[in-house]
Structure 1
Amino acid sequence: MVLAYETYGAGRPLVLLPWFGLDRSAMIAAFEPVFEPTLTRRAGWRRIYADLPGTGESPGGEPTSDAVCDAVLRLIASAEPGGAPVALAGCSYGGYIASGVARRAPDRVAGLLLVCSGVRIAPEDRTLPPSPPGPPPAGWLDGVRPDLADHLATALGHRTAAVAAQVDAVVAAALTGDDDFLDRLRPGGFRLSDEDSPTTYGGPMAFLCGRADLVAGYADQFAALERYPDGAYAVVPDAGHYLPFEQPSVFRDLVGHWLGRLARLA
């Protein structure tokens, strides 16, 4: 399968992979503020926002995460046909796939950024934090679509009406694709065959986690640092599974730090 993508900027390639079921517009909304023209130290990156199989303009295919991983590897090969490595970032499921790519083709990955990314894909295998302390503000979900309210009640750590409305708008705009494919992928082929591999990745890497992420958690990521000799780890208070939208200024700083580490190796 050939993945659809959209490119912003020029320079070194950075491939970005979105949350499960969302298309590239969600990643564009999350990451483009990191590259505002005023932030000159972050210039020189060609951002390649991909639609994973069955989302956006990318067709489905074999409903397994192994096949999704293979499709991303083909995208990397087409983005840099000379074989030069690319930086790779992913949110949630996109981060899970990105980590698989780094295990399978470490020479093609110049750096790895995993945002709210699970280490284990099966919900029953994840180490999750307790529910956020205290009740949320009254009516904070009144302005979101009813079919998304339960998800946001679990996924968001910064529980305000403004954050909920923003994430609702981002998700609504990004829910495009092949629902039948996604419905077959989740129960049948979600787990990468090498999920438990002890293989290490030695490039500049960072886990960015939300302290109140009840979807992916933050503890499994810290335990996985042993697989990343040059790995960094940050857990952000008052943030959940949509960290880039819940704490945008902190997110921009953390991504900027990772980009700086990559730039020093150029």
Structure 2
Amino acid sequence: MTIAHEVTGSGPDVLLLHSTICDRRMWAPQVPALTAAGFRVTTVDLRGFGESPLPGKPWNDADDVVALFGDEPVALVGSSGGGYVALEIAARFPERISGLVLLCGGFAGWPKSPQRLAYAEREDALIAAGDLEAAVELNIATWFGPDAGPEAEDAVRAMQRRVFELQPPEDPEPEQIEVDWDVAAITAPAVLVSGAHDLPDFRQIAEHLAGTLPRASHLPLDWAGHFPSLERPAVINSLLIETLRNL
């Protein structure tokens, strides 16, 4: 089954990968700006998010996304866990990727900070108690910076509730096919964005990748939390357009 996705506009290909507490709806502030700037924009729902239910067998997110590619090179924009998927794609299929923009991107296996461990422990406790609404509110409080407005917060609330619907906390963790890959294989230029109001893990990941990837830069944002594209969409839209045009 092909994952749910939507294609808008025409021009160079840009594919947006959502955070793992959101779905493709998180990119609603970006899609019109990118298409107006002359890009062909694809948004996807990874399995277990939005309109892509979990399958009845193991799968791999990167393979699902690459199956949507056309013949032309694709620029990848990834938020949080979507950034990790973008890294895997760029490492496994370097010839297909024209550039990377990671917004507070994740990196599997990165040691969790005390702050992140405390958040995870609190979320697990709320879920175990059956208080999913409180778990949703914990995510809002943890991941948004001070510039987030009520519209952005409500959007993430709805998307997080959808995650709980598709991935019921009482069910076993979804099973993914693990494929070996190495960031050293990435050749695409990359911009690594971090937020001063985010958990420190994601700044550290951005700094690490900026020092590891061959054509990478780290852009710290002093106003941002974990979701800069929702907190100040106009600023991020301008950043994306300028970066993608310079690929």
Secondary structure in structure 1 of the residue aligned to 2:136: helix
Q: Tell me if 1:258 matches 2:243.
A: yes
Query: Which residue matches 2:74?
Result: 86
221, 229, 245: which one aligns with 1:244: 229
Stretch deviating more after TM superposition (251-260 or 43-52): 251-260
Aligned-partner residue type, residue 13 of structure 1: D
Q: SS state of the match for residue 199, structure 1?
A: helix
- Output the CA distance in 1 between the equivalents of 2:204 and 2:2: 35
Code of the residue aligned with 2:104 in structure 1: it is C
Runs (5+) with no aligned partner, structure 2: 117-132
- Residue 126 of structure 1 is matched in structure 2 by 112
Measured in 2, the distance between the counterparts of 1:241 and 1:153 equals: 11
Q: Could you give the per-residue CA deviations for residues 198-239 of structure 1, whole angstroms, max 9, x where no partner exists?
A: 423222211111111127521121112233211121010121
Deviations 1:159-189 (A, max 9, x none): x6xx251222211343436845475999565
1:20 aligns to what SS in structure 2? coil
* Equivalent residue letter for 2:140: L
One-letter amino acid of the structure 1 residue matched with residue 3 of structure 2: L
Tell me, yes or no, if structure 1 residue 95 matches structure 2 residue 101.
Answer: no
Matches within 5 A, 1:151-162: 151-158=139-146
1:186, 1:221 → 2: CA distance? 31
Match of 1:75 in 2: 68
Alpha-carbon distance between aligned partners in 1 of 2:114 and 2:12, rounded to the nearest angstrom: 36
Corresponding position of 2:26: 26
* Identity level (%): 27
Task: Give the distance between the partners of 1:203 and 1:256, measured in 2 at CA.
Answer: 17
- Give the alignment's TM-score, normalised by structure 2: 0.79
Q: Secondary structure at the match of 2:202?
A: coil
Q: Counterpart of 1:211?
A: 196
SS in structure 1 at match of 2:67: helix
Q: What is aligned with 2:150?
A: 165
Deviation at 1:104, TM superposition (A): 0.5
Amino acid at match of 2:231: E
- SS of aligned partner of 1:234: strand
Superposed CA RMSD: 3.1
Contact 1:55 1:178 in 2 (8 A): no
Residue type of the alignment partner of 1:172: R
SS for the counterpart of 1:238 is: coil
Query: Where in structure 1 are there 5+ consecutive unaligned residues?
Result: 38-42, 131-144
Name which of structure 1's ranges 199-208 and 166-175 shifts more when overlaid on structure 2.
166-175
Q: Which residue of 1 aligns with 2:34?
A: 35
- Give the CA deviation at 1:245: 2.0
Aligned to 1:14: 14
Alpha-carbon separation, structure 2, partners of 1:238 and 1:154:
15
